Amino acid sequence: MSNLKLGKLPDRTPSKITISVSAELNQALKDYAVLYRQTYGESESVAELIPYMLAEFLESDRAFAKARKEGVPAAGTSEKSRRQPGSHSE
C-alpha cells in the first residue's frame, strides 16, 4: 500500500468548488484521485480532494507557516498601504 502525502479524508459534508486548471494539472489531479482510490479503497472526486490537498500543502510549507506566525498582512491590504509612514520607495 502506498503512503500518499494526503491521508484518508475524514467524514464530512460535501462541498463544491469551481476552478480553472491547465490540461496537465487536470490530468495529474485525475491520476491522484485514481491512486487515492487504489490506496484507500474509496473513490473521491477531484473537487473533494482539492481542499484537503491545499490544506496539506499549506501546512507543510515552512516559509508560509513562519510568515503566518510573524503576522502576514491582512488580505486585501495593498503593498502601498502596508509601507511605513514616511517610506518613499516607490
Per-residue DSSP letter, 41 = S
Does pTM top 0.85 for this prediction? Answer: no
For the chain, the structural domain boundaries read: 45-71
pLDDT digit string, tens, across residues 8-20 = 888 778 666 678 9
- Which amino acid would we find at residue 57? F
3-state helix vs strand vs coil in the chain, percent to 5: 50, 0, 50
Mean pLDDT by 10 residues, the chain (90 residues): 81 74 97 97 93 93 91 62 45
pLDDT on residue 74 = 64
